[in-house]
Chain A
Amino acid sequence: DTGVSQDPRHKITKRGQNVTFRCDPISEHNRLYWYRQTLGQGPEFLTYFQNEAQLEKSRLLSDRFSAERPKGSFSTLEIQRTEQGDSAMYLCASSGSGGLETQYFGPGTRLLVL
């Protein structure tokens, strides 16, 4: 098991374009989280999946953002009509189902919107 992976690692896009990021969690983990981190800040919670069900979304997740986790495996996070304020590191984490378990983070996708 190689841990949580994210793709791409870096993305540069122009304002108004759509982008999609992928996260592959640790294989036996059924919980998957997305966070966003801007420079000098701690990560902020965006959304959470248990298996394929999206159970919670932060108010930070505007209607331009959508996340999916088909079949409870990998997850995608799409941002439509990107804005410069979307520039950030997008982090994915996974954990087991007990609620007592450590969240394991991926390396992140750094997005720059020009």
Chain B
Amino acid sequence: KQEVTQIPAALSVPEGENLVLNCSFTDSAIYNLQWFRQDPGKGLTSLLLIQSSQREQTSGRLNASLDKSSGRSTLYIAASQPGDSATYLCAVSAYTGANSKLTFGKGITLSVRP
């Protein structure tokens, strides 16, 4: 059974700091990995999707990397801003084209202090 772990559960940083959020998963036979953002009481917003054959994806100040063999992914946020405060969730999809259901970690709650 796939398990996704995100540590620490919460993180507080001053504005402007570059930071890395970690995600690990137990079964390397994944189809893809997604990073999501969730604001309190809201749904999920997709940030980046990395296919199993890829090593990284970039969007603006965000860069996500994937090391499938070691079961790890990182989300790098450059020059953090108070508006980045949210919960960041990592999710992996099973290695089957028939159903891409996602297995999520519990998330990392990020607070960026002005």
Bound Cα distance from A31 to B93, whole angstroms: 14
Given that A40-B106, A42-B91, A44-B104 are contacting pairs, would A55 and B99 also be in contact in the complex, using a CB cutoff of 8 Å? Answer: yes
Interface size class of A (residues with CB under 8 A): 20 to 34
Contacts of A65 in B (CB 8 A): none
Interface: A102 (CB within 8 A): yes
Interface: A110 (CB within 8 A): yes
In the complex, are the beta carbons of B100 and A105 less than 8 A apart?
A: no
In the complex, are the beta carbons of B42 and A42 less than 8 A apart?
A: no
Interface: A95 (CB within 8 A): yes
Bound Cα distance from A106 to B38, whole angstroms: 11
By beta carbon, the residue of chain A nearest B47 is: A102
Cβ proximity bits B11-35 to A, threshold 8 Å, 1 near / 0 not: 0000000000000000000011010
Cβ proximity bits A40-74 to B, threshold 8 Å, 1 near / 0 not: 11111100100000011000000000000000000
By beta carbon, the residue of chain B nearest A103 is: B102
In the complex, are the beta carbons of B101 and A102 less than 8 A apart?
A: no
SS class, residues of chain B in contact with chain A: strand
Interface: B83 (CB within 8 A): no
Interface: A99 (CB within 8 A): yes
8 Å CB contact of B31 from A41, A48, A100, A110: A100
In the complex, are the beta carbons of B31 and A106 less than 8 A apart?
A: no
Interface: B51 (CB within 8 A): yes
Interface: A108 (CB within 8 A): yes
Given that A100-B31, A100-B32, A102-B34 are contacting pairs, would A43 and B44 also be in contact in the complex, using a CB cutoff of 8 Å? Answer: yes
In the complex, are the beta carbons of A41 and B46 less than 8 A apart?
A: no
Q: Which of A80-97 contact B (CB under 8 A)?
A: 91, 93, 95
Kindly list 13 other residue pairs between chains A and B, CB separation below 8 angstroms, not including A95-B100, A99-B97, A99-B98: A4-B43, A6-B43, A33-B102, A42-B104, A44-B104, A48-B99, A55-B98, A56-B99, A93-B44, A100-B51, A103-B46, A104-B46, A105-B43
Residues of B within 8 A of A (CB): 4, 31-32, 34, 36, 41-46, 49, 51, 89, 91, 93, 96-107
Please name the 10 residue pairs, one residue from A and one from B, whose CB atoms are nearest each other, closest first.
A42-B104, A99-B97, A105-B44, A107-B43, A45-B101, A105-B43, A108-B43, A102-B46, A102-B49, A42-B106
